[in-house]
A and B are shown apart, each in its own frame.
Chain A
């Protein structure tokens, strides 16, 4: 038997992919994803504004009588979601400084507030007083807020994965990309909600 020390191969499989762009591939990925999301929301907003403009009582009456949007409840929900962005930011800053307790507390709080937002939205749907069959305004309302709700659900899934990994001891001041990207996504979802809440409920 002979031993070929010099022939030890450390690398198997195809060569590492060359990166032509100077943007980190994962960051570029989420940027492209967010770009596509903006276009998706844009199409829903186009439908919303169209329905709103052609509504018989436009521009003074919105939503059509006798319906009303639950502005106050949605406002409280907005506060919850905005606060969750603060805790998300706190969580990331904590892990960057090596403070695991702050990181985990921030992530759990963010998740709980996101969950509260989603559950409140479900309750809001149950008590809003109209359904998708009550006119185009109802369809675009449920379409737009539901689309956002779906994004919150996806965000919660990402946050849950970060929390599980966090409690398993993952992430460190040097390696926290897995927290950064869900954080970007969470803030994006928050930004979209600000736009949705303002245009649908307030204006």
Chain B
């Protein structure tokens, strides 16, 4: 349930509901204290029922589909490996096997050095370039994708995106073990444990290709 104080209009509506509810409690209490207490309990139960009902309606898993199946929502998270052949191949495979919408999130800073030296502006600019290039490539092959820069903490970035995008699957792309700070920090394992959707790990050896 959304906060009743999320906006002035919502707070005003909440005030009117409060006045109505308390007026009912007062009137019934004047008739009988027990009746007033029962009214209070009934109104509290109604509030809980509305809360649960709203949560169910908001849950994407309970949406009724009468036409074509809804497109799967796939969250792609990558930083320096964004745009790598391995990741693009994984996205293409997912797009071919099912109707899908992609949200590409690029956590902008991935090293403690960049964070500690406040080199975030440059890092974000680079991340934005990679993101735009990747989105352009995906659009050119007909894949519906949107993108955004995320929090510098990859888990926090995933958490934010899960809250707003509600993905059916998460794809995390990293460097190979030994060179990936995300793997070192247990990002993939933590994401698998935290989120109740399949998490696919794509390893992209960008450095090997650039050396070759």
A66 touches B (CB below 8 Å) = no
- CB proximity to A under 8 Å, residues B70-117: 108
A202 touches B (CB below 8 Å) = yes
A46 touches B (CB below 8 Å) = no
A187 x B12 contact (CB < 8 A): yes
B25 x A198 contact (CB < 8 A): yes
- Nearest residue (CB) in A for B119 is A15
- State the CA gap A155–B25 with chains docked (Å): 28
- State the CA gap A76–B10 with chains docked (Å): 25
Majority DSSP secondary structure for residues of A touching B: helix
A20 touches B (CB below 8 Å) = yes
Chain B count of residues within 8 A CB distance of the other chain: 31
State the total of A-B contacts with C-beta under 8 angstroms: 76
A188 x B3 contact (CB < 8 A): no
A22 x B164 contact (CB < 8 A): yes
What B residues does A179 contact at CB under 8 A? 8
- CB proximity to B under 8 Å, residues A8-33: 11, 14-15, 18, 20-22, 27, 30-31
A20 x B156 contact (CB < 8 A): yes
What B residues does A22 contact at CB under 8 A? 160, 163-164
A188 x B7 contact (CB < 8 A): no
A40 touches B (CB below 8 Å) = no
Whole-angstrom distance between the Cβ of B31 and the nearest chain A Cβ: 13
Q: How large is the interface on A (under 10, 10 to 19, 20 to 34, 35 or more residues)?
A: 20 to 34
- State the CA gap A126–B75 with chains docked (Å): 64
Whole-angstrom distance between the Cβ of B181 and the nearest chain A Cβ: 18
- Nearest residue (CB) in A for B151 is A20
- Nearest residue (CB) in B for A182 is B8
- Given A18-B152, A203-B36, A191–B6 Cβ distance below 8 Å? no
- Nearest residue (CB) in B for A33 is B5
A85 x B164 contact (CB < 8 A): no
B19 x A194 contact (CB < 8 A): yes
Q: Contact flags (1/0) for A179-199 with B, using CB distance below 8 Å?
A: 110011001101100110010
B22 touches A (CB below 8 Å) = yes
Q: Contact flags (1/0) for A78-104 with B, using CB distance below 8 Å?
A: 000010010011001000000000000
A105 touches B (CB below 8 Å) = no
A169 touches B (CB below 8 Å) = no
- Given A15-B121, A82-B19, A180–B14 Cβ distance below 8 Å? no
B15 touches A (CB below 8 Å) = yes
A109 touches B (CB below 8 Å) = no
- State the CA gap A188–B8 with chains docked (Å): 10
B118 touches A (CB below 8 Å) = yes
- Given A15-B120, A15-B121, A183–B15 Cβ distance below 8 Å? no
A184 x B11 contact (CB < 8 A): yes
Whole-angstrom distance between the Cβ of B113 and the nearest chain A Cβ: 16
Whole-angstrom distance between the Cβ of B108 and the nearest chain A Cβ: 8
B18 touches A (CB below 8 Å) = yes
B160 x A20 contact (CB < 8 A): yes
- Given A18-B152, A85-B15, A203-B29, A194–B22 Cβ distance below 8 Å? yes
